[in-house]
Amino acid sequence: MLTFGTGNKAVAMAVRDAKPVVVAAYPITPQTEIVEELANFVTAGSMAARYIPVESEHSSMAACIGAAATGVRTFTATSSHGLVYMCEMLHMSAGARLPIVMANANRALGPGWNIGAEHSDSISMRDTGWLQVYVSTVQEAYDATLMAFRIAEHTDVLLPVMINLDGFLLTHITQTFETVEPGDFLPPTATPHAIDIKNPGGYGTLTPGNTHFTFRRDMERGMRASIAVIEETEADFARRFGREYHLYEEYRCEDADVVIIAMGTLGKEMEVAVDILRDEGIAAGAIRMRWFRPFIVPDLDGKEVVVIDRDYSFGYGGVLAGELQAKSGCKPFSVIAGLGGQEVTYDDIVEFVRIRKPGTEHWFGVVD
């Protein structure tokens, strides 16, 4: 059904359509509308889930862990301080191989107090074992949320998935989007290690040094296997519903000499910058990274690279730029832009390409 609404609303509608059994969440700006909509669906009877209001984000993830351990589909949503508050439980959920799905409205962390878009919240959860996808339109927020359940619950993966959408820029914009009837695109959950009271077993028991690493190695197997599962899920989604997604989205890259790489809404706005640069005779292209974990490296051979990071790792640099450099050997022009919702326009992105100096870092708006 073609409809019109915000990124938050699209996430909530996708969750409704995925028919989870348990939703446990705590509201936080700019994610609140997701939680409100889900509570409304449950109250109105359009969603059969058990909605558990909790006293904190740590508890919302704990509740999802308990529910998912019984083998049922679960969902939560958070943002910023809420995400980092549940950090311990993120490690617990991934380590327990529970396919929980969560939406995160990307937002800066304080102080200074700020509710604007920034990826530092989710990127600081990089090593928890969660898959992370970054979306750039309201439609993609809906589609990626639906697909996240199938990817997380696939028995080759069994790892939780975080859908990241830029706070306000995407959570609060109203756009056209289409909902679908997922049908058997989303098969019932079949968690192989679900708690079975007729067949008791131990969960989260002591694992000393002579076994612990085997569980960590298995997590990495799940993460690596997720790449094929993501591709297969996205291909099936395209076949059934007509909308195509890829591990990363390329725009006018075929003959490009310089490519701009970013995640989230900047990854969409930069397409306009590429069109402007092309009109000026500069062979520019753009790659929008969708998956941050697993990290999938595009072929950047022979291209100049401009990476825009809406995050920063102190003492290191822009995280996306650094990881691309480490994995591909490219020497990116690393631009730090959009922190805390800093306004970045397509004209600014054009300027980043014009002033690029490979192997250096540029903080947009900072005059040294």
Where along the sequence are the contacts to other proteins (CB under 8 A)? Answer: 4, 30, 115, 166, 168-170, 172-176, 265-266, 268-269, 271-272, 343-346
**Nearest distance in Å: CB 177, other proteins:** 10
Query: Between residues 23 and 170, which has the closer beta carbon with respect to other proteins?
Result: 170
Residue 95 and residue 93: Cα distance in Å, rounded?
Answer: 6
Quote the least distance from Cβ 134 to other proteins, whole Å. Answer: 14
C-beta of 7 vs 318, nearer to other proteins: 7
Burial class for 263, CB neighbours closer than 10 Å (0-12, 13-18, 19+): buried
Nearer to other proteins, 299 or 347 (CB): 347
Least separation in angstroms between CB 11 and other proteins:
17
Q: Which is nearer to other proteins, 117 or 133 (CB)?
A: 117
Nearest-approach distance from CB 4 to other proteins, in angstroms: 5
- By beta-carbon proximity to other proteins, the closer residue of 26 and 177 is 177
d(CA 126, CA 15): 24
CA neighbours closer than 13 Å in the CB half-sphere of residue 19: 11
Q: State the helix-helix crossing angle for 7-18 and 32-44, rounded to 10 degrees.
A: 40
Q: How far is the CB of 223 from other proteins (least distance, A)?
A: 30
CB of 74 or CB of 80, closer to other proteins: 80
CB of 317 to other proteins, least distance (A): 24
Distances in whole angstroms, Cα of residue 221 to Cα of each of 60, 78, 89, 214, 233: 27, 27, 21, 10, 18
Cβ-based nearer residue to other proteins, 67 or 266: 266
Of residues 46 and 174, the one with the C-beta less far from other proteins: 174
Q: Tell me how far apart the alpha carbons of residues 162 and 306 are, in angstroms, rounded to a whole number.
A: 26
Residue 300, token pair as written in the block? 């950047």
Supply the minimum distance, in Å, between the C-beta of residue 50 and other proteins: 31
CB of 171 closer than 8 Å to CB of 6: yes
Whether the CB-CB separation of 307 and 324 falls below 8 Å is answered with: yes
Looking only at the bridges linking them, the beta strands covering 101-106 and 161-166 are: parallel
Q: Which of 137, 44, 56 is closest to 89 using CA atoms?
A: 56
Contacting residues for 119 by C-beta, under 8 A, at least 6 apart: 106, 134, 164, 263, 264, 309, 310, 311
Among residues 307, 34, 296, 60, the alpha carbon closest in space to that of 164 is found at 34
Q: How far is the CB of 345 from other proteins (least distance, A)?
A: 4
